[in-house]
Chain A
Amino acid sequence: MSVFWKKGAAVAASVGTLALVLAGCGASSSGNSSQGSNGSGQGQGGASQQKPVEGGSVTLDMIQNIRDLDPAFAYDTQSNEVVTQLYDQLVTWKGDTTKLVPMAAEKYDISKDGLTYTFHLRKNMKFWNGDPVTAQSFIDEFYRVLSPKMGSNGQGFYEIIQGADQYAAGKTDKISGLSAPNPYTLVIKLSKPEAFFLQTLAMPFASAVDKKFIESVGNHQVYKKNPTFDSTQAMGSGPFELQTINSNQIVLKKNPNYWRTDSYGQKLPYLSKITFNINNNDQVDALHFQQGQTAWIGWNFGGDGIPSSAYPQFMSNPNLKKLTVSAVQNSVQYVGLNTKLGPTKNKLVRQAIEYAIDKQAIIKLNNGRGKVANQPLPPGVVGYDNNLSPKAQYTYDPNKAKQLLKQAGYPHGLTIDMYSENSPDQVKFDQAVQGQLAKVGIKVKLHTSSWGTFLNVAEAGKAPMFWLAWIQDFPDASDFLNTLFNSNQAPVNNSTNYSNPQVDKWLNQAQYSNDQNERNQLYAKVTDQVMEDAAWVPIYYDVFTAAVQPWVHGFYIPKATTDPLEWIWIDKSHQKG
């Protein structure tokens, strides 16, 4: 079989986290390219034995269109995955591990006090239009992400850079912690050490952007100083270029001048073209794969695994079954309950909902794929709370829910608006929740729309109740707890508008602590409090499944939504056109 997938990846992830946390603080550490790009050729694809073949194109189905191609806004899985194909970051993940390797930076040094990060950039990198990628290209993007007017999802991750909080608050127009002593050296100074800062640099927010391009196409009407640009344009330096995008299709074509090479010295990427057809029909997507028209299914750009309506067929048909890969992901599906809007302002109502939702029944609708979730952190992330306080635990108990509703002053029931995207499986889960809540007297009005439209509502904090999932950007509890529950992340990432000063204090303390034990304890306290306050109904932790054609090689499921499409290659016999 030509599909490689490392089992037990979830365990590897947690070990990796520890190592990184230790490396990131205290002792000075550095990375360089010898272990990075050169060594990654074979390693990336999960140790493929064959020599990769260049050429050919693949077609894939996508349930929903992507939301945004601007790296400053690409924080949903779909946009994130596309943006990482189009843009280069300073560092990236090695294959399906959680080990960071240099990328645009040839090597980097971290000072002993953990405050100064020095990146030595590659000299031969160019944007598609020929403009050179320099240290300034990264600094430009930090200015955009941190701009007070932009409202980028990434703002919170980089306010730790010296002077960034002042800039983000609109008090200064300079970030003192960012400098470029020469065009190929980038120095980032932090205001205090942060265990996982380097990991945040693998996110799309820290991409190299071409300021000239953005200024020529950007939306100057809205953002005079830091223009945004829309989802029809991109100018990166990544392995793939954006050829076309419209409401039904996205086409990426190979960047022939990409700097990266594999261990054989072949240039990346291998594929010359990738076509994504947007097709919000599970059946058809599954059939396209079965008929051999698509290269894989259930993975990429927000794919939630093989659609539930087709999954049993994949399992019962031996020919299909052997093409499937599956893994526990560090991700959680949840129903968010807005703490500032609608009837869910009332904690008792939120707790009633916790008791009213039958998570097992929802997992069954997903063909049993998934593990019941009891807290925001997935078990694979260090900091997972094995000893939840009794107050933070809920079991399925409709009677208890009714009782709480009565207590909350709703003896005759109430109506709540719930928002979600409109993929077929999502709509099915929504209706399951709707049916379960109806049993306790809560009438749920569903508002389903395309992914982007839905996120616009949720991320404005305007959805009283919504269904979302969270997949780790980097393997640290802070990516879940701080990003999703710190009041300074509301409403963009913390879309339930959860705000508890005590929790904020714990989160901030954990954010900058170097003692992993202390952090774990703090995160356990946060978890208990958040669950007691019932801002979320964690539904399940994903067990992820995809299926890959036998003629596709180099496939692996990344840990942090940075899909390595540049490593994918296909058999010569399947290359047409």
Chain B
Amino acid sequence: MAAMQFETPPAPAAAAPPAKPFTKKFWKSVRDFPMLYLGALIIVLLILAAVLAPVISPHNPTTQFSDGLTESGIPVGPSAKFPLGADNLGRDILSRVLYGAQVSLLVGVISTVINLVLGVLVGTVAGYFGGWVDNVLMRVTDIILAFPLLLFAMALVAVLGPSLWNVLFAIGVLGWGTMARVVRGQVLAVKEFEYVQAERALGASNTRIMFRVILPNIIGPVIVLSTLNVGQNILVEAGLSFLGIGIQPPTPSWGNMIEAGMQTYQVAPWTLWFPGLALVIAVLGFNLLGDGLRDILDPRNTQH
């Protein structure tokens, strides 16, 4: 999707505005880029939740409390002991939601890093060398892009056996197609620029030109796309876990919590609400940040 929005190379960064007191500057930029800051705030909170989960969680996320279930074996609702209620095994949902942030962030970020490395490598090499190299690499990219990510990741995780690392690996190895295409497009445009030609004339090596000269110039779209990618990959992980092919119990993941909630929403709707809400907020955070960054790094896209 995002692929289409980077058909043009980024304009040079705007000149720095005249110095102002920091706080004033800060609030002005918040007013100018509310999405960016809201997204950043959500992500900071998310990171805090993940990192501090062991400290701030009221309970161990895997402890099955017998008072987490009613006499007839149904999850208890929100209470002082279980602020967001309990799940179908009497576990504290708040604690599980907090720990679930760890899984989501870990999978989202690391799989994106893998996407990024593979995508940038393939895209840069293809765009820079062109010709048959470009042809081969782009056909490989086409093949990767032809398999819908979730379906392909499902098959691969089934092959490897469901676990956190395999989910991460599958999403990372299969999800770089878009990145490669975008990077290639950018490289194609940038490599014709004078300063690149100048470097080449000066006899710089291909590696140097690709990664020292071209790459820094296309970093904007790459950052934007990566940020959006984290949110997408979190969703894919949740989808896999929802289908039971992702993160395995007892490790809490928002996806497998929703799957469990699917069986109890009639009698205990909170089992469905909170993990889903956490998931939406997290993904929204990355989407806000991504869009916000695009406003700054790629102003032509928001000219209107």
Contacts and interface: CB of A to CB of B under 8 A. Distances in A.
Interface of A: 281-283, 286-287, 307-313, 315, 361, 364-368, 422, 424, 427-428, 430-432, 434-436, 438, 445-446, 448
Interface of B: 62-64, 66, 69-74, 88-89, 244, 248-250, 262-267
Contacts of A448: 244
Given A283-B263, A428-B89, A448-B244, 4 more contacts: A281-B262, A309-B267, A367-B72, A435-B64
B265 A431 contact: no
20 contacts: A283-B263, A286-B266, A287-B266, A309-B88, A311-B72, A311-B73, A312-B74, A361-B64, A361-B66, A365-B69, A367-B74, A368-B71, A368-B72, A427-B249, A428-B88, A431-B249, A434-B250, A435-B62, A435-B89, A438-B62
Nearest to B91: A435
Nearest to A443: B250
A307 B73 CA distance: 11
A298 B299 CA distance: 61
Contacts of B73: 308, 311-312, 364-368
Given A309-B74, A309-B267, A424-B263, A435 B88 contact: no
A265 B66 CA distance: 56
Contacts of A310: 266-267
A47 to B, nearest CB: 33
Contact of B248 (A287, A309, A313, A446): A446
A309 B266 contact: yes
Nearest to B73: A367
The residue in B63, B66, B72 that gathers the most chain A C-beta atoms within 10 A of its C-beta is B72
A365 B89 contact: yes
Contacts of A422: 244
Given A281-B263, A446-B248, A432 B89 contact: yes
Contacts, number: 73
Contacts of A432: 64, 89
Contacts of B69: 364-365
Contacts of A361: 64, 66
B285 to A, nearest CB: 30
A63 to B, nearest CB: 11
A284 to B, nearest CB: 9
B224 to A, nearest CB: 39
Contacts of A366: 73
Nearest to B266: A283
A311 B263 CA distance: 12
The 3 nearest A-B residue pairs measured at CB: A312-B72, A367-B73, A424-B263
A33 B259 CA distance: 53
B66 A431 contact: no
B269 to A, nearest CB: 11
The residue in A313, A368, A428, A432 that gathers the most chain B C-beta atoms within 10 A of its C-beta is A428
Nearest to B261: A283
Nearest to A448: B244
A361 B88 CA distance: 12
B266 A434 contact: no
A308 B267 CA distance: 11
A54 B23 CA distance: 84
A361 B74 CA distance: 12
Contact of A431 (B70, B71, B72, B250): B250
Nearest to B248: A446
A438 B264 CA distance: 25
Given A367-B73, A368-B72, A434-B249, A313 B266 contact: yes
Contacts of A445: 248
Contacts of B64: 361, 432, 435-436
A356 B256 CA distance: 26
Contacts of A365: 69, 73, 88-89
Contacts of B74: 309, 312, 367
A534 B89 CA distance: 26
B258 to A, nearest CB: 13
Contacts of A308: 73
A463 to B, nearest CB: 15
A368 B70 CA distance: 11
Nearest to A308: B73
A435 B250 contact: yes
